[in-house]
Amino acid sequence: MFIKEMEFVNFKSFGKRVKIPFYEGFTAISGPNGSGKSNIIDGILFTLGLSGSKTMRAEKLTDLIFNDAKSKQPEFAQVTITFDNTDRKAPVEADEFEISRKIKQTKSGYYSYYYFNGKAASLTEVHELLSKAGITPEGYNVVMQGDISQITAKMSPTERRKIIDEIAGVSEFDEKKQKSLAELDIVKEQIEKIDIIIEEVK
Ligand code: ATP
């Protein structure tokens, strides 16, 4: 599974509608300072609701709406991510699907909406779908500036091991193993109880 395309409408420095294609494997984005490269990453964090643990560079959500100080600020910003799902990593029976988020500014405040394939969805639904494909807010699907030095220089070997386990998908199995061991303990206890009853009956 990979991001196939992103569409920005009035998001940060992307005034109007801008489509950016991505490719399987590796896509590098280059451009002068301040040209909007990091705004693309902010678009990913915003759309997939991953900004809980990573910081988008905006003080408030409405700062994400395009504002060039020359014209009236648009009322909304929207980012749509199209995923290629030909490998069926996400539990969607289609070769591609879309997740979109819109933020709308009104006189009484702002509203945020998520969409899955154009239909309204909750953030929980979006997270549930993405987690099946290994994308989680705590995960390292998006590596921010500073994350690498944090991992290589500042973390203890145990903390680093935890991250590697998470990325490799080992921690998921560790959790399942712990759960199974706990269930096994309960079964063992029940067998012991039944054995005692059998002994008493004899
Ligand atoms: P660098 O190489 O310096 O990290 P970059 O290519 O990553 O730069 P960004 O940080 O993505 O660039 O973009 C910063 C630009 O986005 C700035 O020029 C800033 O004015 C502009 N910008 C941020 N928010 C908005 C907004 N709401 N409306 C219009 N422009 C915005």
Residue with tokens 């420095």: 13
State residue 174's pLDDT score: 83
State residue 65's pLDDT score: 95
Q: Which residues line ligand 1 (CB under 6 A)?
A: 12-13, 31, 33-39, 63, 65-68
Q: Which atom, in ligand 1's list, is nearest to the CA of 35?
A: 6
State residue 140's pLDDT score: 81
Rounded CA-CA distance 91/93 in Å is 7
State residue 89's pLDDT score: 92
**Exposed/middle/buried for 70, CB within 10 Å: 0-12, 13-18, 19+?**
exposed
Question: What ipTM is given for this predicted complex?
Answer: 0.94
State residue 51's pLDDT score: 79
Which alpha helices (DSSP H) does the chain contain, by range? 37-47, 123-132, 147-149, 157-168, 170-201
- Which residue has the CA at smallest separation from atom 18 of ligand 1? 34
Q: What angle in degrees, to the nearest 10, is found between the helix axes of 170-201 and 157-168?
A: 90
Q: For residues 91 and 26, is the Cβ–Cβ distance under 8 A? A: no
For residue 116, report the distance from its CA to the centre of ligand 1, in Å: 27
pLDDT tens by residue, the chain, 202 residues = 999 999 999 999 999 899 999 999 999 999 999 999 999 999 999 999 987 656 777 788 889 999 998 889 999 999 999 999 999 999 999 999 999 999 999 988 899 999 999 999 999 999 999 998 989 887 888 888 888 888 888 889 998 888 888 777 787 788 889 999 999 999 999 999 999 999 999 8
2-137 — its CATH code? 3.40.50.300
Residue with tokens 């959790």: 175
SS3 content of the chain, % helix, strand, coil (to 5): 40, 25, 35
Contacts of residue 74, defined as CB under 8 A and 6 or more positions apart, other chains included, come to 10, 65, 66
Which alpha helices (DSSP H) does 72-140 contain, by range? 123-132
Rounded CA-CA distance 130/91 in Å is 9
Phi-psi sector, 115: left (phi>0), alpha (psi -120 to 50), beta: beta
Probe residue for ligand 1, chosen from 6, 10, 12, 46 as the CB with the greatest number of ligand atoms within 8 Å? 12
| Domain ranges within the chain, ordered by starting residue | 2-137
